[in-house]
Structure 1
Amino acid sequence: MPTVLALDVSLSMSRPVFQQDRSEEPPTVRQLAIKGIHALLNHIHHNCKLEFAALAVYSSMYEILGSFTRDFDQLKSRLASLAEYDKSCVETALLGVKAVVAEEWGSGTACQVIIISDGSLGVGDSSLRQLVAGSRLHLPFSFPCRLDVVLLGERAELERRGAPAAFQRLVELSGGEGAVHTPEPPLSAKSTLALFRRLAETNYAPFSGVLHCGGLSSRVTLCPPPQTYNRTRDFEAVKRTVSPELRICGFLSVADVASPPAFSRHLVLPAPSESGDAPGEPCSEEDENARTACFCVLLHGGLKRENAAALVNVGEDWYGIVYSWADNKKKANLMLSLFEPGTNVLPWLGDFTNLGPAVPGAPSPFPIKVSRKRSYQQTCVTWTRQSGLHSDVQKVLRHARKLPDKTQNFYKELNRLRSAALSFGFYQVLESVAVILERECTLLPGNAHPDCALQLTHAATALRHPEAPSAGQTDPAAQHAVPAGQLSGVTWPGRGELGQWGCCGWVRAVRLSWSCRFVRRVDYHGAVVS
């Protein structure tokens, strides 16, 4: 998974570390940290060539020295020109991590975050102890994450300051896996390198397994290595680990599989040869493995030609699909997408244990229709992006310009937008739409139907109606009364008319739900037209 290295560059990192050998100038804590980062990047480069890494430094502020890249030499060169800054503040490190991950990967990609520090907790309100106690760290992250903290210092001194416990609490608040790492005493270049090597071997161990399909098999490696699934559900805690034995159960059409949600995605590559070639590197002509048939090549070609996907069992009640994926017209790769653990995670395919041999020439049985009506089959308004709100407002305006022919469509879309705004608490959009409708009313041509101006004015006024109850109203429904012609009574089955009140078209507002109210068309005299 992508890695973010966050290095503490506060003034305390310039403290010298005295060695038993006094003949040489003692290195600083920051110099030891840089040596450890070099060792970690070298391990990733040799064992996980497809991994990305980013580098950030922090003190009271943060700075991104290098965005996600595979050019680790560039990151090492940035480490050679670090400056000294002021006090340490872990909160700024977390802000830098969030910024660099959100810019490159969003919130759907799991990342590895490694914080390297000397154990300084900071001072004042920005100290880690105060931040953890006050829950001001805005954790967990918005993306899946493993947080590891490397504390470079003498273990006894770190324990005296309470640094391991404070940073362990930080790891727990991050919501994922992780640990706090300290070097073996005494602190030296040798113990620091040993610490980073252990961290690299634990978190960046390549995955090797065997892909089986009947009597055929091939040794493969997955990149990035699959992570352990560890989630707490309503009534159980689920923990699954990918087995080294990957078994193909059968084949499905890509059209039937569609675009299923995936827990993680991995490249499927032939395992390194005994000669030591790295995964994904072409073999030389003299290499005997280059002339040996490989099942992965056969599988990739067959899936690509037939436009199919292979259903793979990767563990206990855990499945995924292997398919051919192309990032451009000239290059394609064999990919593995892991689903959530379970046998019924894709409703349109049904239970995986019920799948059997396909009948030649028979129509596809997918998607499987379910008897119950799911909630996501209902139309709903989503304004997670600016384009969604813009599209809904444009739809109202298109119908408004075609009044009176599109009167029913105009009020249908206007009520839909109004209900969503009230449900979300986005009251400002009601005022904005009212202003837009008033502007459309002033721009009507001279030969426009008189009903156009009446309906636009009525809709704009209804969007702005007051919430305060009028005098003389005692029942709860009357608390939402509005002036004449704005809102009509609505007839519910078995309940009858919920009521008009007053004279000459004064009507009562009726809530159809806890936040939704509807606008109806009026005629020239202010009376409600159903």
Structure 2
Amino acid sequence: MPTVVLMDVSLSMTRPVSLDGIEEFQRKNLAVHGLNMLFEHMASNYRLEFTSLMAFSSLWELLVPFTRDYNALQEALSNLEDYDKTCVEAALNGVSNVVQQEWGSYHHTSVFIAFIYLLLITEEVLSHPYSYITRSSYQKHNSGGGDGQIFTMEGPLCMKSVQTMFGKLIDLVYSPFHAVLHCGNLSSDVQVFPRPEPVVMDEEVEPMPRTVSTDLEIVGFIEIADIASPPVISRHLVLPIAVNKDVDEVGTGTTDELEEEPSASQMAGKSPNFCVLLHGSLKVEGMVALVQLGPEWYGMLYSQADSKKKSNLMMSLFDPGPEPLPWLGKISHLGPISEAADNPYGEDDSKSPFPVQPQVKRSYAQNVTVWIKASGLQTDVQKILRNARKLPDKTQTFYKELNRLRKAALAFGFWELLKGVADLLERECTMLPDSAHPDAAFQLSHAAQQLKLASTGDSQYAAFDHNIVPMHTDFSS
């Protein structure tokens, strides 16, 4: 979840602010104080965050490219220069260029589908030169699928008001997500990074935001080949938390060491940690762990390698619901192999119980009759007539084709077709040669009568699941 800090360095930020009669400060100094507060918080809690610093007035300038070195970011803040007027649109275009150059145009942090937070260093919100520009840009951004919020000062311009405003931003966006990962009697304190956002399912009648629980319960393990590459709504890094003395700290090392992401074992230090055991086991066995995130909401834990020497424990979130991956069936119906009568994977792991076959055959998996052109309907009717002329040898095939046409006609409400085919069968009956088998006439008359009854639409004779069966005669074998 990369962060771009866009700092206004126009002349309006040089306006003086009187702080209880002591030396004069500029509004720029208040902004720098708030950003230093943000960077210090991120250095302690979001050390894996990539952050970039940009300055803008009528033009924009990249001061610090994406980095995890928060000392470099704070040093750049102390060396800001002043320029001319403000141009927000140009600055946003600059952010778009920087993000796309670093992460690619399809990255989820592209500025047009990201979160924009505006922090205004002013008491005169409505009369501020940003007022109509920032709000119109913000609303335009939201209409494109983004999100964000505008933060304003409460009370006079002072250090305390700035701290309060940046504190709200930190609580909303940069508060760490701590959870406990459970697996039977084993557990581990972990930090999920970045913080999982609430999810709202649009198809629900009364959609309510779903939040990831702070108690993550592993419900089972499955082979990577069986889960394949499932659709997910977000991916997160799971970091074990080591306990140092009386304070819970994430053992991540110094900021300089973080130019490369620490592995799970580095994060946990030297103390035994279930999270490290889990990560190593999944990596060696080639499996993933299914984890319950909340009521009828699941995800998976797996090992993902960033390089040949290092890998991390990752967590992917599925869509909420009892059956997020159709080929696995309902997650609650899965169970351990030991409870199965026979090993579903076979003695030599030569087979797999997945994908689970649905009890009801899917409509798109059936041989559905579709008449797009008149020629298709004509072909099906001619097929019935050809088999009718070969009765009784083709009795089973005749009734199979007849029932297929009957079901299609009932599904489309095509009653006239049933009546028309019945008339054709009666005509075929009258045209039978003297050498024809006697059973042919009985079967044709019986089939025609059944089609006429179905064409009336009477539920007694037009049931969709009903099939016309051959008439039993003395000539039948």
**TM-score under structure 2 normalisation?**
0.65
Structure 1 residues 311 and 38, CA gap change in structure 2 (3 angstroms): same
1:20 aligns with 2:20: yes
Partner of 1:91: 89
Does 2:359 correspond to 1:364?
no
Q: 1:291 to 1:74 in 2, by over 3 A?
A: closer
User: Residue in 2 aligned with 1:321?
Assistant: 300
Q: Describe how 1:135-146 pairs up with structure 2 within 5 A.
A: 141-143=111-113, 145-146=114-115
Q: Is the 8 A contact 2:178 2:191 kept in 1?
A: yes
Which of the numbers 116, 134, 140 marks the counterpart of 1:147? 116
Change in CA separation of 1:234 and 1:104 when aligned onto 2, cut-off 3 Å: farther
Question: Given the superposition, is the C-alpha separation of residues 142 and 164 from structure 1 closer, same or farther in structure 2, using an over 3 Å criterion?
Answer: closer
Q: Offset of 1:109 from its aligned partner?
A: 5.0
How far, CA to CA, are the matches of 2:90 and 2:363 in structure 1? 47
Is 1:226 aligned to 2:196, yes or no?
yes
Task: Report how far residue 314 of structure 1 moved.
Answer: 0.6
Deviation at 1:350, TM superposition (A): 2.8
Residue 49 (structure 2) pairs with residue 70 (structure 1): no
Q: Cα gap change, 1:16/1:49 in structure 2, threshold over 3 Å: closer, same or farther?
A: same
Query: Which ranges in structure 1 are unaligned for 5 or more consecutive residues?
Result: 112-139, 284-288, 376-490, 497-530
Match of 1:263 among 233, 251, 264: 233
Q: CA deviation at 1:331?
A: 1.8
2:209 pairs with 239, 254, 272, which one?
Answer: 239
Query: Is 2:242–2:271's contact at 8 Å kept on the other side of the alignment?
Result: no
Which amino acid counterpart does residue 252 of structure 2 have in structure 1? E
d(CA) in 2 for partners of 1:57 and 1:291?
Answer: 42
Measure the CA separation in 2 of the matches of 1:373 and 1:282. Answer: 57
- Percent of aligned pairs with the same amino acid: 43
Matches within 5 A, 1:60-459: 60-106=58-104, 109-111=107-109, 141-143=111-113, 145-154=114-123, 157-161=124-128, 167-168=134-135, 170-175=137-142, 176-230=146-200, 232-233=202-203, 237-275=207-245, 276=247, 278-281=249-252, 292-358=271-337, 359=340, 360=343, 361-362=345-346, 363-368=351-356, 371-372=361-362
Separation in 2, partners of 1:345, 1:173: 33
Q: From the superposition, tell whether residues 495 and 307 of structure 1 become closer, same or farther in structure 2 (CA, over 3 Å).
A: closer
User: Residue 197 of structure 1: SS of its match in structure 2?
Assistant: helix
Deviation at 1:179, TM superposition (A): 1.9
Deviation at 1:170, TM superposition (A): 4.2
| Distance in 2 between residues matched to 1:91 and 1:345, nearest whole Å | 41
Q: Secondary structure at the match of 1:159?
A: coil
Q: How does 1:506-521 map to 2 (within 5 A)?
A: none
User: One-letter code of the match for 1:150?
Assistant: L
Measured after TM superposition, the shift of residue 108 of structure 1 is 5.7
Corresponding letter in the other structure for 1:92: A
Report Cα offsets for 1:312-366 as digits up to 9, x if no partner.
Answer: 0111222110011221222222111112222333233233233233343433122
Q: Cα 1:185–1:273, aligned 2, differ >3 Å: closer, same or farther? A: same
| Structure in which a larger fraction of residues adopt helix | 2
C-alpha change, 1:238 and 1:170, in structure 2 (3 Å) is farther
Q: Distance in 2 between matches of 1:159 and 1:325?
A: 49
* Ranges of 4+ aligned residues in structure 1 off by more than 6 Å: none
In the superposition, relative to structure 1, how do residues 77 and 188 fare at CA in structure 2: closer, same or farther (>3 Å)?
A: same
The whole-number CA distance in structure 2 between the counterparts of 1:243 and 1:494 is 56
Q: Distance in 1 between matches of 2:364 and 2:66?
A: 40
Larger radius of gyration: 2
CA, structure 1 residues 46+298, in 2 after alignment: closer, same or farther (shift >3 Å)?
A: same
Change (3 A) 1:258 1:172: same
SS in 2 for 1:5: strand
Structure 1 counterpart of 2:293, one-letter code: V
Secondary structure of 2:304 counterpart: strand
Q: Take 1:164 and 1:341, find their aligned partners in 2: how far apart are those partners?
A: 39
Q: Secondary structure in 1 aligned to 2:289?
A: strand
Conserved 8 A contact 2:305-2:312: yes
From the superposition, tell whether residues 246 and 107 of structure 1 become closer, same or farther in structure 2 (CA, over 3 Å): farther
Residue 12 of structure 2 aligns to which amino acid in structure 1?
Answer: S
Q: Residues 407-466 of structure 1: CA distance to partner in whole angstroms, max 9, x if unpaired?
A: xxxxxxxxxxxxxxxxxxxxxxxxxxxxxxxxxxxxxxxxxxxxxxxxxxxxxxxxxxxx
Match of 2:11? 11
Q: Secondary structure at the match of 1:250?
A: strand
Which residue is 1:2 aligned to? 2
SS of equivalent residue, structure 1 residue 57:
strand
Contact 2:88 2:133 survives alignment (8 Å): no
User: TM-score of the superposition, structure 1-length normalised?
Assistant: 0.58
Q: 1:272 to 1:186 in 2, by over 3 A?
A: farther
Matched positions, count: 343
Provide, for residues 477-521 of structure 1, a one-character-per-residue CA deviation record: whole Å limited to 9, x for no partner.
xxxxxxxxxxxxxx994599xxxxxxxxxxxxxxxxxxxxxxxxx
Aligned CA RMSD, in angstroms, stands at: 3.1
1:168, 1:179 within 8 Å by CA — same for their partners in 2? Answer: no
The answer on whether the counterparts of 1:253 and 1:308 sit within 8 Å (CA) in structure 2 is yes
Deviates more, 1:192-201 or 1:181-190: 192-201
Distance in 1 (alpha carbons) for counterparts of 2:377 and 2:298 = 52
Say whether the 8 Å CA contact 2:2–2:51 is kept in structure 1.
yes
- The change in CA–CA distance for 1:185 and 1:255 in structure 2 (over 3 A counts) is same
